[in-house]
Structure 1
């Protein structure tokens, strides 16, 4: 058998030929350079229009050339997007945009500032300006008042000392010091008149600036309007007129809620002890059908499951189809939950940006507020929140705060009430009642507390 011989590799031939020569030049700095923008973690509508701005900054003594700051701003009816330059890592890190000219094989490099976008909620800006503005003016008024009282006391003591030194100088001073005293007395100004004029001017300016400032009640109403609670009818004469049922459960959702099994008594079990206790109570009443109340209870159980699901994910949710399957809910209800209680964010996991739906802390509170209103409708606007607290795995303080935000007062069970419910006094102490009554009582807006000082 002939021995195997290795085949020689043929020399490779140059197919593409030598690479062409490129000329790289750096373009002079201009007032209108190209701009690089990044928006990690922010989802902006594709139709948003942005306006560029430039600001010239006086340079430090070591830099001969004036620096420029660039800004991009765009907005939607509710949110503003602001792009600002990020601080540079050292003096030798720059970003350039290259423009290639195929005719001359030249690449022209342009220095490009890099901007990073942040999101601004317009309603918060307006609220903060009003609150901060009032705080500044009130602080100025208080400061002026303290300075005026303290200054008068200091002036009285200082005047006595000056008068004593002046008298001694006139009697025992040198000719030079006596001459200086006479010159001071000739140039003396009546300070009392000057202080009165200054005080009148300051008071008039403060009154003019605070004339149109909103009151504490108006600021409280503005803060309350920004909270994610259902629309409130402040002219309601009865608790059932305060909230509109369709603002929480739309007709498309209501029509796909099925409770025939509960009506027929086939399966009265529910994951929620709050819901289960009430469907059993309704099933005992055979005098009429309770379809509406049963549908609300079924919807409350869906909301509890949705709230617990987003809590387990730290606010992040899987795709809508997976949520629909996990909660066993209709597509119309799943779509409504995502539309009302989630917002889209961008995740950079896996090396690529992708949109995910998440429940922010404010939207999680929105779920609790809407759920609280539905529980009030089911419980004739007087609800024991003990079982609901256990279903949600929350502290009593957190849940009572949610009911207070929708206008409830928190009360304890009276002795006749817990005796009729066959509870002891110790057991009744763990139960709290959320009662919606007219006139409505909402939590007062927080006020700034003065910082404690050590004595």
Structure 2
């Protein structure tokens, strides 16, 4: 009979280990577990926790357990930034992590729930650097190399056949890369749809406008068409003291406009003529006369002789805004763009006189223009060319027979015509 020499080690009660959960509130700040899969920082590197915003509404962070609060752990050294990666949330799904603190005196290990953060890193010197572009040729070469190494016999035969039929484009490699880079650079600066619309609206050949105007009268303010110095220079005293309609028409710069003559007669038919409307009619008459006088050659002295009743400041203003002087020349000329600007400024004034519903057919006859072209210019101002409704006829004080005539109507909100798109055949 043999006796074992091994001595049984009796475990003292002080050497036993027991576990207990922390009695601290779960909302109190606690430890954080950090895992560094690649580069590990030095022990002197400090880290901080930051709360993050979540898309879904959650309960107040003050009532949420510390281990469940959405947060970001971040720290940095002189060369590297450390921060929580996207793997953090996936790594915590389905698991709970605890940090234990052992008390040697009592033999109790106290456990406290702690969030796990898997940290990634970024080298500061490499921030902002774009990855090198890979050309199409490089992709094809890499694909062929993979096929030769891991492909089937049939795939390898196809790769070799493609290599035999390949055209040598090595001479064009530099050009192709340059073209690709140019295309990427140019397309990256293309404007968005909203930016393109804003740019088109800002370059329209029309007076300055207020796109957010609530009333039709505020879309094109009066002094955007007639500058204040020219407005003050206009005098209506001769028209107010004239003996009759024929005498007033004789004072106009342009006397053969049925639209102006009819509106002037209507203005003076009132017991108290509207002086603002009379001034606008005189200025519109001046613009029509200027339009006729500058059709070919432009000579300021000749224009002033033809329009003796028009103040010189008005003629100077029309010449400066609606004509151009070529570089190296002193002769003014009217370009198609300036001619369009003159007409749209004139038509915006006509809308003011007509309470923003103008009969375009009469104006077209006065200007010797096609009605379709006049309507198009009114549409560029944001007008709709339609027949008047019963409410419009009542507002303007017109008879029901006036509803048969199409008019250019300006209303809010201001909307410009959309560009036409060609349909595919």
TM-score, reference length from structure 1: 0.48
Shift of 1:185: 5.5
Alignment partner for residue 213 of structure 2, among 236, 253, 267?
A: 236
**Is 1:409–1:441's contact at 8 Å kept on the other side of the alignment?**
no
Q: In structure 1, what is the Cα distance between the partners aligned to 2:225 and 2:398? A: 33
Aligned twin of 2:285: 301
- Asked whether 1:377 is paired with 2:352, we answer yes
Supply the distance in 2 between the matched residues of 1:239 and 1:186 (Cα, whole angstroms): 74
Q: Name the CA shift for 1:261/1:247 in 2 (closer, same or farther; >3 Å).
A: same
Post-superposition Cα deviations, 1:270-322, rounded to whole Å, max 9, x if no partner, equal 32111111111111110x341111001000000011112223x2xx31x2111
* 1:151-206 alpha-carbon deviations (Å, 9 max, x no partner): xxxxxxxxxxxxxxxxxxxxxxxxxxxxxxx976643459xxxxxxxxxxxxxx99
TM-fit CA distance, 1:248: 1.6
Residues 408 and 188 (structure 1), Cα distance of their counterparts in 2 relative to 1, 3 Å cut: same
Q: Is the 8 A contact 2:323 2:335 kept in 1?
A: yes
Aligned to 1:96: none
Q: Hey, what does 1:124 align to over in structure 2? A: none
Match of 2:303 in 1: 323
* Shift in alpha-carbon separation, 1:300–1:183, aligned structure 2, 3 A: same
Q: Give RMSD over aligned pairs.
A: 3.5
Task: Label 1:213 to 1:374 Cα distance change in 2 as closer, same or farther (>3 A).
Answer: same
Unaligned runs of 5+ in 1: 1-181, 191-204, 347-352
Summarize the Cα distance change of 1:267–1:338 in structure 2 as closer, same or farther, 3 Å threshold.
farther
Tell me what 1:38 maps to. Answer: none
How many aligned residue pairs are there?
Answer: 244
**Deviation, structure 1 residue 251:** 2.0
Kept after mapping to 2: 8 A contact 1:263/1:291: no
Matched, 1:187 2:171: no
Give the Cα–Cα distance (whole angstroms) in 2 for the partners of residues 424 and 298 of structure 1. Answer: 25
SS of the residue corresponding to residue 416 of structure 2 reads coil
Q: Which residue of 2 aligns with 1:399?
A: 374
Offset, 1:412:
1.8
From 307, 317, 325, the equivalent of 1:344 is 325
**Structure 1 residue 372: Cα displacement:** 1.0
CA deviation vs aligned residue, 1:385-434 (integer Å, no higher than 9, x gap): 22211110111111111111111111124589599648599xx4xx4211
Greater Rg, structure 1 or structure 2? 2
Query: Is the 1:303–1:371 contact (alpha carbons within 8 Å) kept by the matching residues of 2?
Result: yes
Paired residues of 1:275 and 1:297 also in contact (CA < 8 A):
yes
| Structure 2 Cα separation of the partners of residues 433 and 292 of structure 1 | 23
**Does structure 1 conserve the Cα–Cα contact (< 8 Å) formed by 2:212 and 2:414?**
no
Q: Report whether the alignment pairs 1:248 with 2:219.
A: no
TM-superposed CA distance for 1:224, in Å, is 2.4
Match of 1:437 in 2: 411
Give the drift of 1:267.
4.3
1:332 aligns with 2:313: yes
Residue 245 of structure 2 corresponds to 268
**Residue 338 of structure 2 corresponds to residue 357 of structure 1:** no
1:279 aligns with 2:301: no
Structure 1: distance between partners of 2:244 and 2:294: 27
In structure 2, relative to structure 1, the CA distance for the partners of 1:185 and 1:408 (3 Å cut) is closer
Tell me: CA distance 1:377–1:183, structure 2 relative to 1, closer, same or farther (3 Å): same
Give the alignment's TM-score, normalised by structure 2.
Answer: 0.51
- Matches of 1:420 and 1:450 in 2, distance apart? 42
Seen in structure 2, the aligned counterparts of structure 1 residues 424 and 257 have a Cα distance that, compared at 3 Å, is closer
Q: Confirm or deny: 8 A CA contact 2:350 2:358 kept in the other structure.
A: yes
- Deviation of 1:359 (Å): 0.6
Query: Hey, what's the Cα distance between the residues in 1 that align with 2:412 and 2:329?
Result: 48
* CA deviation after TM superposition for structure 1 residue 323, in Å: 0.6
